[in-house]
Amino acid sequence: MDIENAVNRDPYSLTYKNNERVYYECREGFTGSPFRTCTANGWTGTSMCTEKLCNRPELMDANIRGVVKQSYSNNEKIQYDCTYSQEVHEAKCEEACPKAVIPHGFAVGAQGDKLTYTCDEGYKLFNKGWWGEATCVNHQWSGLEQCIGEMQCGEIPAIANGEALTIQKPYDENDGTAIRCNEGFEAQVTRLSCHRGEWSSGGLPLNTICTARTSNCDAPPKVDNAIITTTYKNNYLTDSEVVYECRNKYMLVGEGSLRCLDGKWEEKNITCART
């Protein structure tokens, strides 16, 4: 069944199941996400493709030649004369961005400078989302993710206290990438592997791949009526130092710093006394 100014984007079939939908893609210069539904009484649905129009431009010190309209069709041109010179200029109604090309995917709909898209059956977005959004910037679509095979792996997940060395490409079955932990942390596995479309770390949760070395210290001890002037962390490298500062109306008694030494904080009597 044909829809004006649209083409069927799904593979053609001689028969369709009850409640099965057929989706269409609008031709260049038109917008919409039309579809039709197969029912016991035949095809139903009224969604159509509507023409993309340009509103009449607001021109300062210039007059449009010929018939002036409220809106203009795609690729339609106007000419206008400058009020204070003999110059004649031309403008063309055209889309801010060209039609998006999405291999193994399709645009679901467009609203202003935003485009919503997803992937064909058997494919998924590189970033694992089931739909994506692109923005028209300087006549180009920004944010279009590629569609990859269901059994491929895409974006590598974040690893707590470390990172995976990677390039932006699909990974096939058994492909892998090396893991590098931050200073003071050790890797329990050396790589992530792609297995049936999912990243595998040998059963380890991602937040336990890079574990703190035994020489590190946990969070420093609390001192009543004091705060730590450096950024608070749950784990500190050996030889790290934290500095305490007393709250308002309290005064520091003794030294105000502690150092992490081979997994333990120095033992000092840090006190904030009332002034």
Q: What is the pLDDT of residues 23-38, one digit of tens each?
A: 888 887 888 888 999 9
Say if residue 205 is in the same domain as residue 167.
yes
pLDDT in tens, 224-240: 999 998 888 888 888 88
Give the pair of three-digit tokens for residue 222. 């609390």
Domain membership of residue 99 (yes or no) is no
Beta bridge partners of 51: 30
Say if residue 62 is in the same domain as residue 47.
no
Domain membership of residue 36 (yes or no) is yes
- pLDDT greater than 90 at residue 247: yes
Domain membership of residue 98 (yes or no) is no
Backbone angles phi, psi at 186, to 5 degrees: -120, 140
Domain membership of residue 86 (yes or no) is yes
- The CATH number of whichever domain residue 261 belongs to comes to 2.10.70.10
- pLDDT greater than 80 at residue 259: yes
Domain membership of residue 219 (yes or no) is no
d(Cα 261, Cα 116) in Å, to the nearest integer?
Answer: 54
Domain membership of residue 208 (yes or no) is yes
pLDDT in tens, 134-181: 998 887 889 888 999 999 999 988 888 898 887 778 899 999 899 999
The pLDDT score that the predictor gives to residue 186 is 86
State the total domains in the chain.
5
pLDDT in tens, 173-220: 999 899 999 888 888 898 999 999 999 988 888 888 998 887 889 899
- The CATH number of whichever domain residue 195 belongs to comes to 2.10.70
pTM confidence score: 0.55
Backbone angles phi, psi at 206, to 5 degrees: -60, -30
Say if residue 230 is in the same domain as residue 200.
no
Domain membership of residue 47 (yes or no) is yes
How many whole angstroms from its chain centre is CA 49?
Answer: 28
- For 7, residues 6+ apart whose C-beta sits below 8 A from its C-beta are 24, 25, 27
Domain membership of residue 114 (yes or no) is yes
User: In which domain, by residue range, is 89 found?
Assistant: 57-93
d(Cα 154, Cα 194) in Å, to the nearest integer?
Answer: 9
The pLDDT score that the predictor gives to residue 127 is 86
Say if residue 207 is in the same domain as residue 166.
yes
Say if residue 204 is in the same domain as residue 242.
no
Average pLDDT over every residue of 57-83: 89
